[in-house]
């Protein structure tokens, strides 16, 4: 298994404001990137170039007696996943490159995805099998894919990006691809006002269950109560323009499928394909999934909001309350929890440690191996050094590169699980159950 597919984001833009044009979801992206396989673009905002080069160099020491093929599969993260195919034929090209790599090497491929790329790849697994997409059938992944290396798992950005600071909110809402990272699973995953959140700690003063919190003030008004994830999403859609609400609801889904019948029905609904709690893994019994992600770095978990100071000059109803800081837990309106500095622990760890143990979400019994890497940065290294677990900088971590190369060289079975966080205790409290 010597064929690598590197699924990482691409599409550097010069001025994000140029992208805002609510009328044209495919063509409004005025900074041209073109189909990623034609121009070979890489996102200069992350370290994927150094990551790929490092893998090529280190592969020489693995004792592999054949060449390692690496194919970058950069995508335009601004587009909704469906429109990646409409505009760039992205998934058609991805399917062709995987088939080519597997055919020419006579070995199955290893897929590597990072952050949002993991959601793109999960969507692809459904698209490639579906008669609504690549028409490869349920046996396609089993035939062509040996392993999926899932780095930092499913990214979930806080709603803060979509609600505060008017210009930034406009930009984020104008790029439907980013909206794929809105929280999924609702209160069953993220917690309720009555029962708290799965990742609440003993003696914690404030539960993580309320994603949006509002202080009362003399000079501003606020919603009558704090909002959980479900309430926050409803609030976002109620206060957004019609075009944005329709774009998201026609592209994505955020619920939980409670039965096998519902999961199988969702295989025919492309809106569900990004959501691992509404659809299943491929029917590929020999597929091996490796979840490698960072832990131990303070990460956004919930927020405090207030009304804008100059409400007459903005379209926003609320903005983040940057005046609020309390100890280590609340930093300028942001309530900190556990994670990799960008994506919180429930997002990176739940499906790998718990969700894919449920038969309806993993009916073929794909083997899943989890390795958590604690954040151990060097004090004076701006990128954290060889033991960082930061969401992006982890791509340069020595241990991670060695693990990836082991899988690529066919020695993935030698990798031992390592879970150092409390994710399994948290996951057991999530209100998603076996059928």
Tens digits of per-residue pLDDT, 255-284?
A: 999 999 999 999 999 999 999 999 999 999
Single out the catalytic residue among 118, 391, 393, 421.
391
Are 290 and 312 within one domain? no
Q: Which residue has the higher pLDDT, 47 or 152?
A: 152
Q: How confident is the prediction for the chain on average, in pLDDT?
A: 82
Is 391 in the active site? yes
Torsion of CA 298, 426, 388, 6, to 10 degrees: -120
pLDDT band for 23, please (50, 70, 90 cuts).
Answer: very low
Tell me the CB-side half-sphere exposure of residue 108, using CA atoms within 13 A. Answer: 17
Does the pLDDT value for residue 91 go beyond 50? yes
Only one residue has tokens 């004792």, namely: 63
Tell me what pLDDT residue 4 has: 38
Pairwise CA distance, residues 101 & 99, whole Å: 6
pLDDT at 392 over 70: yes
Select from 333, 296, 282 the least CA-distant residue to 148.
282
Residue 59 and residue 74 in one domain: yes
- Average pLDDT, integer, range 185-210: 95
Report pLDDT for 312. 57
Of 2-6, 14-18, 155-159, 345-349, the least confident: 14-18
Backbone angles phi, psi at 427, to 5 degrees: -60, -35
- Listed in sequence order, the residues at least 6 apart from 321 whose beta carbon sits closer than 8 Å to its beta carbon are 215, 304, 305, 306, 333
Helix axes 242-251, 229-238, angle to 10 degrees: 130
Q: Do 378 and 269 share a domain, yes or no?
A: yes
* Overall domain count for the chain: 2
pLDDT reading at 39 higher than 70 = no
Q: How confident is the model at residue 64 (pLDDT cuts 50, 70, 90)?
A: low
What residue numbers bound the domain in which 217 lies?
A: 160-247+297-337
Least confident range of 94-98, 235-239, 291-295 = 235-239
**Looking at 47, 59, 115, 251, which residue is catalytic?**
115
Across 162-166, 207-211, 275-279, least confident range: 162-166
Asked if residue 151 is part of any domain, the answer here is yes
Residues 6+ away with beta carbon under 8 Å from 318: 163, 164, 212, 214, 222, 223, 305, 306, 307, 308
**Is residue 208 domain-resident?**
yes
How large is the average pLDDT for residues 197-218? 88
**36 falls in which pLDDT band (50, 70, 90)?**
very low
- Looking at the structure, do residues 327 and 197 belong to the same domain, yes or no? yes
- Residue among 88, 187, 340, 393 flagged as catalytic: 340
User: Is 115 tagged catalytic?
Assistant: yes
Residue 59 in this model has a pLDDT that exceeds 80: no
- Residue 40 reports pLDDT greater than 70: no
Asked if 135 and 280 sit in the same domain, the reply is yes
- Range 329-356 average pLDDT: 94
Residue 41 predicted with pLDDT over 80: no
Across 111-115, 158-162, 269-273, least confident range: 158-162
Would the pLDDT of 27 be above 90? no
375 and 235 housed in the same domain: no
DSSP letters, 9-69, are EE---S-GGGG--TT-TTT---S----HHHH----TTSSHHHHHHHHHHHGGGG--SSPPE
348/319 same-domain check: no
pLDDT at 353: 96
435 found inside a domain: no
- Per-residue pLDDT at 360 exceeds 90: yes
For residue 311, being part of any structural domain is answered with yes
Q: Please report whether residue 386 resides in a domain.
A: yes
Residue 320 has pLDDT above 90, yes or no: no
Query: Using CB atoms within 10 A of its CB, is residue 359 exposed (0-12), middle (13-18) or buried (19+)?
Result: middle
């Amino acid at each position: 298994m010597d064929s690598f597919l590197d699924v990482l984001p691409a599409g550097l833009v010069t001025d994000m404001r140029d992208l805002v044009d609510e009328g044209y979801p495919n063509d409004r992206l005025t900074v041209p990137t073109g189909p990623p396989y034609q121009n070979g673009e890489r996102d200069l905002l992350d370290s994927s170039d150094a990551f790929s080069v490092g893998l090529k160099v280190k592969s020489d020491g693995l004792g592999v007696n054949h060449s390692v093929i690496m194919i970058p599969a950069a995508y335009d993260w601004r587009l909704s996943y469906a429109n990646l195919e409409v505009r760039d034929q992205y998934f058609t090209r991805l399917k062709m490159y995987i088939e080519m790599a597997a055919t020419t090497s006579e070995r199955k491929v290893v897929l590597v995805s990072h952050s949002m790329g993991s959601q793109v790849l999960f969507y692809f697994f459904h698209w490639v099998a579906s008669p609504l997409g690549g028409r490869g059938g349920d046996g396609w992944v089993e035939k062509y894919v040996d392993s999926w290396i899932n780095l930092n798992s499913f990214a979930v950005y806080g709603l803060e990006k979509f609600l505060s600071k008017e210009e930034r909110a406009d930009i984020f809402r104008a790029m439907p691809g980013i909206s794929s990272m809105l929280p999924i699973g609702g209160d069953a995953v993220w917690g309720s006002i009555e029962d708290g959140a799965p990742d609440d700690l003993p003696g914690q003063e404030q539960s993580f269950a309320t994603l949006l919190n509002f202080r009362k003030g003399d000079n501003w008004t606020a919603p009558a109560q704090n909002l959980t994830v479900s309430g926050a999403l409803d609030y976002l859609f109620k206060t957004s323009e019609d075009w944005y609400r329709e774009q998201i609801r026609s592209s994505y889904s955020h619920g939980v499928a409670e039965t096998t019948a519902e999961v199988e029905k969702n295989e025919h609904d492309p809106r569900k394909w990004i959501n691992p709690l509404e659809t299943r893994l491929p029917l590929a019994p020999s597929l091996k999934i490796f979840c490698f992600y960072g832990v131990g770095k303070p990460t956004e978990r919930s927020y405090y909001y207030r009304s804008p100071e100059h409400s007459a000059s903005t379209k926003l109803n609320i903005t983040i309350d940057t005046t609020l800081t309390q100890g280590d837990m609340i930093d300028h309106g942001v309530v900190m929890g556990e994670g990799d500095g960008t994506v919180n622990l429930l997002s990176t760890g739940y499906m790998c440690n718990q969700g894919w143990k449920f038969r309806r979400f993993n009916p073929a019994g794909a083997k899943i191996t989890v390795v958590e890497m604690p954040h151990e940065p060097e004090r004076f290294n701006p990128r954290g050094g060889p033991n960082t677990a930061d969401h992006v900088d982890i791509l340069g971590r020595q241990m991670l590169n060695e693990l990836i190369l082991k899988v690529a060289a066919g020695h993935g079975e030698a990798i031992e699980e390592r879970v150092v966080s409390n994710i399994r205790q948290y996951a057991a409290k999530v209100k998603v159950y076996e059928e």
